């Protein structure tokens, strides 16, 4: 039987003991309005989407939580804005209390210019959160050694960056992403740096289990259209990975016999 999709074979992403048919995890930052965000989330087909925790603003109208709950999308709180393990652990505990989930995307940044993740603080926070019963999904650099250590520490996935947050630079070190994928016993989620659909497809072709992106969609001229493109790119990349890429060759190889 000819199979032109993977879905019939049952190709769910299993993360933290839960199954997801979509391998596109969305962020919510950067959208011009909740209406635009909602259209983009629907077009993306996502089933898991991040939110940040901030001081309650009494003047705020509408809530990203209402949008996610209304669409049946699982909420994944993050610790964006934290610079230390202590801040991240407190933020995760507040998110667990506010949102009634023990899942957290652990994000501890080192400085505001690059927003690159701080590996020391991230590892420290991961150990404390795992011990406290959290399902920990840490955002990290494209470092295979750190990814392995975080898996050993009990993280439910590792989330290496392709490039700095919001940069749209794509995957700057595909080789390291492949090394992380090869060695990992937990899902690898490419997080940050995605600029357009081909970047998301490449992440999946490299063997990542899922892609997390926000800016590439929310700041696109047409967020809903880009969300649909990302949805298809993730599926296409996943299929191409399963199908098996042909080897790269230095010279041509005729696809039909050259001799009569």
- Give the footprint of another protein on residues 75-134 (CB under 8 A): 75, 77-78, 80-81, 86, 90-91, 93-99, 105, 107
Which residue is associated with the tokens 């840490």?
138
Tokens of 58: 């009494």
In whole angstroms, give the CA distance from residue 101 to residue 75: 8
Q: Residue 90 or 130: which CB sits closer to another protein?
A: 90
Q: Minimal distance in Å, beta carbon 82 to another protein?
A: 11
In whole angstroms, give the CA distance from residue 3 to residue 191: 30
Q: Do the annotations mark residue 7 as ligand-binding?
A: no
CA–CA–CA angle 94, 156, 190 (5° rounding): 95
Q: Residue 93 or 172: which CB sits closer to another protein?
A: 93
Among the residue ranges 23-31, 176-184, 193-201, 237-245, the one whose residues contact another protein (CB under 8 A) = 23-31
Q: Do the annotations mark residue 215 as ligand-binding?
A: yes
| 69-to-64, 99, 121, 206 alpha-carbon distances in Å | 9, 11, 32, 32
In whole angstroms, give the CA distance from residue 106 to residue 88: 7
**Site for another protein contains 38 (CB under 8 A):** no
Q: Minimal distance in Å, beta carbon 65 to another protein?
A: 5
| Residues near another protein, by CB under 8 A | 27-31, 34, 37, 50-56, 58, 60, 63-65, 75, 77-78, 80-81, 86, 90-91, 93-99, 105, 107, 214
């Amino acid at each position: 039987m000819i199979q032109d999709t993977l879905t019939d074979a049952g190709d769910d992403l299993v993360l933290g003991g839960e199954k997801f048919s979509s391998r596109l995890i969305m962020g919510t930052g950067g959208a011009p309005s909740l209406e635009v965000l909602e259209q983009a989330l629907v077009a993306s087909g996502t089933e898991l989407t991040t939110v940040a925790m901030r001081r309650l603003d009494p003047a705020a109208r509408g809530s990203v939580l209402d949008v996610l709950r209304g669409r049946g999308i699982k909420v994944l709180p993050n610790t964006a804005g934290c610079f230390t393990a202590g801040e991240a652990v407190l933020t995760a505990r507040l998110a667990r209390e506010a949102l009634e989930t023990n899942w957290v995307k652990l994000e501890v940044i080192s400085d505001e210019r690059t927003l690159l993740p701080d590996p020391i603080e991230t590892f420290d926070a991961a150990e404390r959160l795992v011990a406290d019963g959290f399902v920990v999904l840490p955002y990290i650099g494209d470092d295979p050694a750190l990814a392995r250590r975080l898996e050993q520490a009990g993280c439910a996935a590792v989330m290496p960056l392709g490039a700095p947050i919001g940069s749209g630079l794509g995957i700057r070190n595909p080789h390291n992403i492949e090394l992380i994928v090869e060695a990992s016993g937990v899902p690898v989620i490419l997080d940050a740096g995605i600029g357009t659909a081909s970047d998301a497809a490449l992440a999946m072709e490299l063997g990542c289990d899922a892609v997390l992106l926000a800016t590439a969609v929310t700041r696109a001229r047409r967020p809903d259209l880009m969300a649909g493109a990302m949805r298809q790119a993730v599926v296409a990349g996943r299929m191409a990975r399963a199908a098996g890429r042909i080897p790269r060759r230095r010279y041509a190889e005729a696809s039909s016999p050259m001799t009569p």
